[in-house]
C-alpha cells in the first residue's frame, strides 16, 4: 500500500477559540492516531476557569449577535464556508489522523462542513400570522434562546459540530462547543480558520479530558444543550440539566435494523447492505446494525456479505487503497474485541472475527450468522465493524423483532416493490425509515430519534425551531381608548 500522506503535524498548534482569541490551554491533551496507537499531536485543553471564560464570552456576545440582521449572519456563514474550502486538505488530513477514516471520507466530511454552512443560509425565520381578523391579530415570532452548549462525538467530529453551529448562528444564538476528547484537533483547527470571520464570543471552542461536560450541562448561563453521543451519556446530560430546565436536543444511540424482503435480488442488495453497515467502519449512530433477511434469500445474502468483508481493504486512512480504517479509540476497540469473543459461542462467524497484523486499533470486518435475537451483538449497539445477520420467514414476526428494542433512531426496508416496502416502513418504530437505502441524512431533512434514541429534532427547518423561543404576539383590535 502506498501512503499518500503522513501524520506529521510538526509546526502546527491547536489552540482553543475563546472570545475571538486563539488561546493555549492551562493544560495539554495528547491525541492518539488510532492507526498507530501513538500520540501524533498535542492540543490546548481547558481548565474550569477557561470554560467559564468561554461561557461568559458567549453570554456577552449574545445581545449583539441576536440583534444582527439575519442577512448579515448569512454573509458571515458564507465567508466561513469559503475559508473552510480553502483549508479542506489540511482539515481532512487532521481528521483522518485523529479519527481514522479513509482520507476520501474525511474530504467528504470536510466538504459537508461548507455545504452545511451554505445550505443554512437559505433559511429565514419569518413571522407566522395565524389570525388577522377584526377582533385580533395573532402572530408567532421566533427569538433566539441565548448561549447554546454543543457537545459532539468522535465519529463525525466536524460535520456534527457544524450542524449545531449553523443552527445556532442563523437563529441568533451564541455557542460554546466541546469536541470529543479523542478527536479535538480538526475542530480546534476549524476554530482557527473562522476566528477572524466570526464576531468575538459568538463561537467558542474548548477542549477537555471528558471532565467539563457536567459544568456545561448544569451551568445557569447555558440556555440549551445540543448533544450527540451515547444514550447512557445523554441520560446523564438530561439529569444534569434538569435543575435549570434547559432546552435540549439529544441525538443518541441506535440499533438500526434492516429488513430484506423476499423479492430482493441478493447480488444487487448485498453491496448496498455492506456499505450501510460498514461505512465509517460501522461507527455511525445510524449504521445498519441488525440485518433480517427472508429465509429464501438468507444463504445468498450471507455468502455475498462474507465475500465483501473478506475482500475489504483494512488499513491506515492515509493509504490510498484503504476502505476501512481503524476503530477510533482503545476503549471502543477493547469493547468490540470482547463482544466478538462472546459472539463465538452464540453465532457463526463467516468473515472476520480477528484483527489484522497492523499497529493500531484494527478489526477485520466481521459477519455473524445463525445468532439469536437475545445475543448481546443483536440487542446492544456494537458501533463497529461487526454485523449480525438473522433469518425470518414471517413478515409480521420480523417487524415485531425489529421493533423489540429500546432504541428507535432508524430502520430500513429493502424490496423490489416500493409500495410494499413503504407499508412495512410505516410499522417500524423509529424517527427515520429508509427504503432501499440506509442512513441518508442531510441539512435539508429533519432527523430525530424515537424511544431512547433521542429528544427533539435536528437539521432542516424543524431543527431550527429547537434553537428558538416561540413568542406569540396577540394583539386586540377595536379597543376603545
CA dist., res. 84 & res. 87, Å (int): 5
pLDDT of residue 2: 38
pLDDT tens digit string along 46-86? 999 999 999 999 999 999 999 999 999 999 999 999 999 99
CA dist., res. 377 & res. 340, Å (int): 8
Mean pLDDT of 252-262: 98
pLDDT tens digit string along 266-300? 999 999 999 999 999 999 999 999 999 999 999 99
pLDDT of residue 479: 64
> 43-57, 389-403, 429-443, 465-479: which range is least confident on average?
465-479
Angle at 376 between CA 374 and CA 379, to 5 degrees: 65
CB-count burial class (<10 Å; 0-12, 13-18, 19+) for 195: middle
CA dist., res. 145 & res. 171, Å (int): 9
pLDDT of residue 11: 84
CB 40 within 8 A of CB 98: yes
Active site residues: 251, 285
pLDDT tens digit string along 184-215? 999 999 999 999 999 999 999 999 999 999 99
Task: Note the pTM of the prediction, 2 decimals.
Answer: 0.96
Q: Which three cell numbers stand for residue 134?
A: 377584526
Distances (CA, A) of 116 to 30, 94, 160, 376: 30, 20, 10, 36
Instruction: Delineate the domains of the chain, giving CATH numbers in brackets.
Output: 16-252+453-471 (3.40.605.10), 257-435 (3.40.309.10)
Distances (CA, A) of 154 to 95, 293, 383, 458: 10, 31, 12, 18
Amino acid at each position: 500500500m502506498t501512503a499518500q500522506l503522513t501524520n506529521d503535524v510538526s509546526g502546527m498548534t491547536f489552540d482553543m477559540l475563546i472570545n475571538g482569541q486563539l488561546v493555549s490551554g492551562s493544560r495539554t491533551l495528547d491525541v492518539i492516531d488510532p492507526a498507530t496507537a501513538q500520540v501524533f499531536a498535542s492540543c490546548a485543553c481547558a481548565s474550569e476557569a477557561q470554560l467559564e471564560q468561554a461561557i461568559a464570552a458567549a453570554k456577552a456576545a449574545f445581545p449583539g449577535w441576536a440583534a444582527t440582521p439575519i442577512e448579515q449572519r448569512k454573509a458571515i456563514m458564507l465567508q466561513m464556508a469559503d475559508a473552510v474550502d480553502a483549508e479542506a486538505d489540511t482539515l481532512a488530513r487532521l481528521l483522518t489522523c485523529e479519527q481514522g477514516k479513509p482520507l476520501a471520507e474525511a474530504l467528504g466530511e470536510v466538504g459537508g462542513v461548507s455545504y452545511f454552512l451554505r445550505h443554512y443560509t437559505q433559511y429565514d425565520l419569518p413571522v407566522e400570522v395565524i389570525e388577522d381578523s377584526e377582533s385580533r391579530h395573532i402572530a408567532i415570532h421566533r427569538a433566539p434562546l441565548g448561549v447554546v452548549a454543543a457537545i459532539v462525538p468522535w465519529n463525525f467530529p466536524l460535520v456534527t459540530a457544524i450542524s449545531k453551529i449553523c443552527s445556532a448562528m442563523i437563529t441568533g444564538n451564541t455557542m460554546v462547543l466541546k469536541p470529543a476528547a479523542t478527536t479535538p484537533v480538526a475542530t480546534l483547527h476549524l476554530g482557527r480558520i473562522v476566528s477572524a470571520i466570526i464576531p468575538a464570543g459568538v463561537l467558542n471552542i474548548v477542549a477537555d479530558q471528558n471532565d467539563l461536560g457536567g459544568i456545561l450541562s448544569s451551568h445557569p448561563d447555558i440556555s440549551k444543550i445540543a448533544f450527540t453521543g451515547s444514550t447512557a451519556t445523554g441520560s446523564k446530560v438530561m439529569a444534569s440539566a434538569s435543575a435549570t430546565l434547559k432546552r435540549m436536543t439529544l441525538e443518541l444511540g441506535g440499533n438500526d435494523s434492516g429488513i430484506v424482503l423476499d423479492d430482493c435480488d441478493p447480488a444487487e442488495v448485498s453491496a448496498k447492505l455492506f456499505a450501510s453497515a460498514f461505512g465509517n467502519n460501522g461507527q455511525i449512530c445510524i449504521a445498519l446494525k441488525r440485518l433480517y433477511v427472508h429465509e429464501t434469500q438468507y444463504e445468498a445474502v450471507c455468502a455475498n456479505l462474507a465475500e465483501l468483508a473478506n475482500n475489504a481493504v483494512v488499513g491506515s486512512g492515509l493509504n490510498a487503497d484503504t476502505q476501512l480504517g481503524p476503530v477510533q479509540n482503545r476503549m471502543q476497540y477493547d469493547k468490540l474485541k470482547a463482544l466478538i469473543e462472546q459472539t463465538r459461542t452464540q453465532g457463526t462467524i463467516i468473515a472476520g472475527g480477528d484483527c489484522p497484523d497492523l499497529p493500531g486499533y484494527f478489526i477485520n470486518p466481521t459477519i455473524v450468522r445463525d445468532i439469536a435475537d437475545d445475543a448481546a451483538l443483536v440487542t446492544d449497539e456494537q458501533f463497529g465493524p461487526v454485523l449480525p445477520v438473522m433469518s425470518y420467514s414471517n413478515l409480521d414476526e420480523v417487524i415485531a423483532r425489529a421493533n423489540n428494542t429500546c432504541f428507535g433512531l432508524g430502520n430500513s426496508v429493502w424490496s423490489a416493490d416500493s409500495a410494499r416496502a413503504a407499508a412495512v416502513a410505516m410499522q417500524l418504530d423509529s424517527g427515520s425509515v429508509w427504503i432501499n437505502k440506509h442512513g441518508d441524512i442531510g441539512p435539508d431533512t429533519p432527523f430525530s430519534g424515537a424511544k431512547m434514541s433521542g429528544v427533539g429534532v435536528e437539521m432542516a427547518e424543524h431543527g431550527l425551531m429547537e434553537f428558538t423561543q416561540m413568542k406569540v404576539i396577540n394583539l386586540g383590535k377595536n379597543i376603545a381608548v
